[in-house]
Amino acid sequence: MNFEKASSLTYDELAMRQYRCLVVEDSQTMRNMLAESLLRIPGMEVVTADNGLSGIRVLASQQFDLVLTDVNMPVMDGLKLVRHVRGDPRHADTPIVVITTENAPNDRDRAMALGANAYIEKPIQAPRVIRAVKKLLEL
């Protein structure tokens, strides 16, 4: 949402705006933690998938405003998912946040080079996730 459009909306209209986020994470605990964090944002709907391939299947039939993905997952990792999302014209501009335990600079650079918009290291802190999401969605 750009500033000009946002400034012309009333508070109630802004509060009613709905956002959809796909969280792709193999750990049920982390999926729940991320979903709970994201649901603190008014109007946020969260859909989850447990690996990159499941994420691709969800993306094939649904549209999202944002994708959060782990890197290290079975079946298909998050970096392959990022590559797939960026190669799909329907989702090419969808913001992507990569969340991982990998903190080596070259891992971050690789994720960003593939098209991620933000990179957050675990352990996850809800305020940090919320800030990154709000920034990408221009809230």
pTM of the model: 0.85
Determine the pLDDT at residue 7: 44
Check: CB of residue 120 under 8 Å from CB of residue 129: yes
Tracing tokens 């499941």 back to the chain, one arrives at 54
What are the structural domain ranges in the chain?
Answer: 18-137
> What is the DSSP-derived secondary structure letter of residue 107?
H
Tell me: the pLDDT tens digits for 47-85? 999 999 999 999 999 999 999 999 889 999 999 999 999
Which residues lie closer than 8 Å to 118 by C-beta, 6 or more apart? 95, 96, 97, 98, 132, 135, 136
**Which one has a higher pLDDT value, 7 or 130?**
130
Among candidates 41, 122, 128, 43, which has minimal Cα distance to 78? 122
Biggest alpha carbon–alpha carbon distance for the chain: 45
Determine the pLDDT at residue 3: 34
Looking at 42-51, 73-82, 95-104, which range is the least confident one?
95-104
Check: CB of residue 19 under 8 Å from CB of residue 137: yes
CATH class entry, domain 18-137: alpha beta
